[in-house]
């Protein structure tokens, strides 16, 4: 038995001994995940077909390309070292998981143990400053396509000191790829060295019957800046869990999530921030747009450690039911263990602002188009606060992708125009 197989069997044995996520788990109380058998592929036997048989490293999985476009600069791929690794090979598996923390024993640890049992391929990306080109802007596009009905992809992204990166990460179902439902347990580990900066735009558009769990682990050294804007669509089960550790002083983390849920879909959004040092700053904001019988949870938990002098944090969670009776649960939470800090949080749930609708209708717009205009404005403002003055976000917004994503849950009646 090789070491790769031994690692997978040890993880499976750990799950057998300690079990899956408890029904009374605080983090997953409102939206429990599907049973462990789904994430291990034990209920997918016989579902694999020719339409979803792409082996790892054959074009499915991760694709990394330079990101081109107006305002993104010329240095789009300098200093980038990318390695696609096969987790079934002992030597490559050791390289893939090198330096990563173990699954641990926290509330979400069973997802990490399940990932170790099923992970077959991953991508490690290291971005270094090129001699003579320090401070250049590196612009990358990262796309993931499923390669099987049940999978556990891995991404490791490391930025050297002072490096600046714009990253567009997309997860979309290809019309020529897997045509049946998939189960995906994805883990991404992001390491920012002192002074590194990452602007991260994530667009997650699963199929209606897909079951997804994305775990983003980010660790920030002194003076590092991490800003993430997330556009996530709900599915049969969709978890977006972000764990952000601000381990260095003067680090800044910003997270803005636009959560879209159609009738009957589910989405669980979690952000756990840990402010360990002084002069750190954290901002978490979400906007839920849902209709019908959708179920969405937005959970923000920030901990300010003892000694984190002059730390500053803000949480703002909002939900808007577009139609029907969606179930929206907004859970801001602060754990403050130091006195000299600034902290604010809040949650609002309700209809679209009447004054904005009235102003739009006064311009001769129909009620449906007035609602569409207000919703688009709220979504844009949220994302722009997450990635302020970002050429990456501006290019994505100009492409019309936001209107397309919102349109899938908004149900504008064009005949009312």
Q: Does residue 63 carry a pLDDT above 80?
A: yes
Separation of CA 11 from chain center: 24
Residue 395 placed within a domain: no
Q: Does residue 414 carry a pLDDT above 50?
A: no
Do strands 281-292 and 150-151 pair parallel, antiparallel, or not at all (unpaired)?
Answer: unpaired
Interior angle at CA 230, CA 224 and CA 136, nearest 5: 40
* Core vs surface per residue 100-125: b (16+ CB within 10 A) or e: eeebeeebbbbbbbbbbbbbbbbbbb
Q: Hey, which residues does 416 pair with through a beta bridge?
A: none
Q: Are 298 and 259 within 8 A, CB to CB?
A: yes
Residue 153 placed within a domain: yes
Q: Hey, which residues does 242 pair with through a beta bridge?
A: 216, 271
Residue 358 placed within a domain: no
Residue 158 placed within a domain: yes
Domain boundaries, position 264: 3-351
Q: What is the total count of domains within the chain?
A: 1
Mean pLDDT of the chain: 89
| The residue count for the chain | 417
Which is more confidently placed, 361 or 93?
A: 93
Residue 371 placed within a domain: no
Q: Give the pLDDT band of residue 48 (cuts 50, 70, 90).
A: very low
How far is the C-alpha of 171 from the C-alpha of 34, rounded, in Å? 21
How far is the C-alpha of 314 from the C-alpha of 253, rounded, in Å? 11
pLDDT score, position 49:
46
Q: Are 201 and 387 within 8 A, CB to CB?
A: yes
Q: What is the tens place of the pLDDT at every residue in 203-241?
A: 999 999 999 999 999 999 999 999 999 999 999 999 999
**Nearest CA among 196, 322, 333 for reference residue 273:** 333
pLDDT score, position 1:
65
How far is the C-alpha of 146 from the C-alpha of 128, rounded, in Å? 29
3-state helix, strand, coil in the chain (%, to 5): 20, 40, 35
Residue 389 placed within a domain: no
Residue 282 placed within a domain: yes
How far is the C-alpha of 283 from the C-alpha of 275, rounded, in Å? 11
Q: Are 215 and 186 within 8 A, CB to CB?
A: yes
3-state secondary structure of 406: helix
Q: Give the pLDDT band of residue 364 (cuts 50, 70, 90).
A: low
Residue 416 placed within a domain: no
pLDDT score, position 57:
45
**Nearest CA among 134, 133, 192, 146 for reference residue 51:** 146
Dihedral sign, Cα of residue 107, residue 108, residue 111, residue 112: negative
**Nearest CA among 281, 211, 196, 298 for reference residue 244:** 281
Helical spans, DSSP H, in 66-166: 90-97, 109-118
Range with the poorest average pLDDT among 79-93, 95-109, 166-180, 326-340? 166-180
Dihedral sign, Cα of residue 408, residue 412, residue 413, residue 417: negative
How far is the C-alpha of 34 from the C-alpha of 31, rounded, in Å? 9
* Phi, psi at 279, each rounded to 5°: 60, 30
Q: What is the tens place of the pLDDT at every residue in 367-411?
A: 677 778 888 889 999 999 999 999 999 999 999 999 999 988 876
């Amino acid at each position: 038995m090789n070491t790769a197989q031994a690692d997978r069997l040890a993880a499976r044995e750990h799950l057998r001994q300690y079990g899956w996520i408890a029904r009374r788990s605080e983090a997953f109380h409102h939206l429990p995940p599907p049973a462990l058998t789904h994430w291990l592929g034990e209920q997918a036997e016989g579902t694999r077909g020719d339409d979803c048989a792409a082996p790892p490293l054959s074009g499915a999985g991760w694709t990394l390309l330079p990101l081109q476009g107006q305002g993104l600069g010329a240095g789009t791929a300098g200093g980038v070292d990318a390695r696609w690794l096969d987790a079934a090979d002992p030597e490559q598996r050791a390289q893939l998981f090198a330096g990563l923390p173990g699954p641990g024993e926290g509330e979400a640890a069973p997802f990490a143990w399940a990932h170790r049992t099923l992970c077959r391929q991953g991508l490690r990306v290291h971005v270094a400053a090129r001699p003579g080109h320090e401070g250049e802007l590196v612009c990358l596009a990262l796309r993931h396509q499923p390669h099987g009905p049940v999978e556990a992809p891995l991404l490791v992204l490391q930025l050297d000191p002072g490096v600046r990166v714009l990253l567009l990460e997309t997860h979309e179902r290809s019309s020529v790829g897997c045509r049946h439902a998939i189960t995906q347990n994805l883990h991404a580990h992001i390491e920012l060295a002192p002074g590194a900066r990452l602007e991260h735009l994530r667009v997650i558009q699963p199929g209606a019957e897909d079951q997804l769990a994305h775990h983003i682990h980010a660790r920030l050294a002194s003076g590092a800046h991490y800003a993430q804007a997330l556009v996530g669509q709900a599915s049969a089960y969709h978890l977006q869990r972000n764990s952000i550790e601000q381990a260095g002083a003067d680090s800044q983390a910003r997270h803005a999530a636009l959560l879209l849920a159609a009738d009957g879909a589910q989405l669980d959004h979690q952000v756990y921030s840990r402010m360990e040092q002084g002069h750190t700053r954290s901002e978490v904001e979400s906007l839920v747009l849902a209709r019908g019988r959708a179920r969405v949870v937005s959970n923000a938990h920030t901990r300010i450690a003892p000694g984190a002098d002059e730390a500053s944090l803000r949480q703002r969670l909002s939900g808007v039911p577009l139609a029907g009776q969606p179930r929206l649960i907004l859970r801001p939470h602060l754990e403050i263990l130091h006195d000299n800090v600034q902290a604010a949080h809040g949650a609002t749930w309700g209809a679209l602002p009447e004054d904005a609708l009235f102003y739009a209708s006064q311009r001769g717009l129909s009620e449906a188009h007035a609602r569409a205009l207000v919703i688009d404005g709220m979504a844009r403002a949220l994302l722009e606060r997450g990635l302020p003055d970002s050429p990456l976000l501006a290019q994505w917004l100009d492409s019309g992708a936001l209107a397309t994503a919102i349109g899938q849950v908004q149900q504008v009646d064009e005949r009312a125009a």
